[in-house]
Chain A
């Protein structure tokens, strides 16, 4: 045991009829990000630097739902959020409502390192970004044609199925009209775009770190905050473990999923694999989600109750795996 370990994800909840081409693109991207992380670890970068580096890569690539390629709000704009946590001392930083910051995860890191706060949102976060001189772009930069099309379909689906103002009865499995169609958060899976990205790392010193970034829910209300920037829900890291989650944001928040993994290890003495298993099986109820986690002992684990999760993991002793299903 011991040694470094890394895991990356590009979202839990994959359309069962996802075209092969898309699966291949995803696999290539995950592999590339894993390689970037592995090189960094071999060069003795610390866990916190590695997770930021890898998530920047995922944000910059338009494939998944973060940075460029983010899901769109109901207004057709992009509002991004991210959080990062450093296991030693459990320092953390988070941002929400970003519209011009090219790499949200780096801004979250700056919140952690350069302010007395843990979380900045919206206009205040953008102002901080300007003052810090981080790279800013127009909101259009983040919007892809793919997602413009998805938004249109999502709106059509919503207007047929339900009014968003009525509380959804279940977080998946929908109403009678959608019986046979795979759904997450009340939307057909093909439109839901749950591809939040994340990375967890334990470095050679046994220090853990986690980072998560997303554009959020397709067709979300402007101002909606999901689980990704919430410490304890989408992201968590402490001395024992680092966790990054993805899936139905509301379900992840309700179950404080990321913290849950660490809590059962801490308070019940479960090991990493047992903890991940236990949490996925018993804490999500109707909710659909997945997570990646590494422990200070160099172990890595993934768990999900969805149909698939884009993921990749590697450990110092040579284990490497990239998967979709």
Chain B
């Protein structure tokens, strides 16, 4: 037993040659968010509050594809989505099409806590945010020059870009192409369990570069990108379509329950079922285990457990 926490900043074709100026700020971001989460758990905050706090940090960090730093739609706008779930009560909240709310994950939390609904989107979500007095800003707040450039490149290449961490280049390598191009690299997420076995998960994203206006990915879909019950809490990242049809987050818990697998085995099993290069996830169990499997080149991730173990990684590590 004991608490455990895991954080991700997106899975994808993160090239091993990722230059330091792109790698270091992200590693630093993960480290900082992990520390924020650890401190909160040590202070006996409920995992639901912990995951919201950590994801808010990730949203505010412009190096990740959520909140500030979100990738752009084909119209050059930002449409963010987020989702939060409490494993014990199975209460959940989700939002999509958010363009002015500084922290979409907090809006999702309010949908969960303050409405009889689970999921609000677009104008309705924005109106609710204002009603609740959440911090809102001009959409330009979220847009970074890097993402403007990425969109430009994607539109020139006339494809939906896979990996937002790829150095912006004129020629996108052929093997990075996907026939239907729907990928959701760069989502952020956090899962946590306290030493009483309370579980929670939170995921947030800007979506995929050059996405159609109105496109919704896996992140706000309970059971796809986000899920928690009494067994485990899961946050997934990767190609949205693959995650949706694979009901990835839900399946980890289902496999634990119905096949009696451990968290690590269940998480690995579920990721194995997804075509290579498409998904990754972070998960914690009620007994304090952690799993961070991925079948992409890399996944920005970090984890820590009460017994003192901690890890920050991008590519394969000896202990996965």
Contacts and interface: CB of A to CB of B under 8 A. Distances in A.
Interface of A: 85, 90-92, 94, 96-97, 115-125, 127-128, 164-165, 167-168, 185-186, 217, 220-226, 230-233, 236, 249-250, 253-256, 259-260, 263-264, 267-268
Nearest to A264: B258
B116 A222 contact: no
B160 interface: yes
B245 A90 contact: yes
Contacts of A165: 114-115
A287 B246 CA distance: 25
Interface of B: 90-92, 94, 96-97, 113-125, 127-128, 160, 180-182, 211-217, 221-224, 227, 240-241, 244-247, 250-251, 254-255, 258-259
Given A167-B113, A167-B116, A254 B214 contact: no
A117 B184 CA distance: 10
A44 B216 CA distance: 34
Contacts of B223: 230, 232-233, 256, 259
Nearest to A90: B245
Given A123-B122, A164-B115, 5 more contacts: A116-B181, A120-B214, A120-B216, A222-B123, A231-B244
Nearest to B211: A117
Interface centre among B90, B115, B180 (most CB of A within 10 A): B115
Nearest to B79: A124
Given A165-B114, A223-B128, A231-B247, A256 B227 contact: yes
Closest 3 CB pairs of A and B: A223-B124, A124-B214, A267-B258
Nearest to B121: A223
A230 B221 contact: yes
A267 B241 CA distance: 22
B222 A230 contact: yes
Contacts of A222: 123-124, 127
A263 B118 contact: no
B124 A263 contact: no
B119 A225 contact: yes
A122 B211 CA distance: 14
A281 B97 CA distance: 35
Given A165-B115, A233-B222, A125 B124 contact: no
Contacts of B251: 263
Contacts of B125: 223
16 contacts: A90-B246, A92-B244, A116-B180, A117-B240, A120-B216, A121-B96, A124-B213, A165-B114, A167-B113, A225-B120, A226-B117, A232-B222, A232-B223, A253-B92, A256-B222, A256-B223
A119 B227 CA distance: 19
Nearest to B89: A254
A42 to B, nearest CB: 30
A255 B228 CA distance: 11
A48 to B, nearest CB: 14
Nearest to A231: B244
B255 A119 contact: no
Contact of A122 (B114, B123, B128, B259): B123
Given A118-B244, A231-B245, A167 B115 contact: yes
A80 to B, nearest CB: 13
Contacts of B124: 221-224
A164 B116 contact: yes
B247 A123 contact: no
Interface centre among A124, A164, A167, A220 (most CB of B within 10 A): A124
B168 to A, nearest CB: 21
Contact of A221 (B92, B128, B160): B128
Contacts of B213: 123-124, 127
Contacts of A96: 121, 216
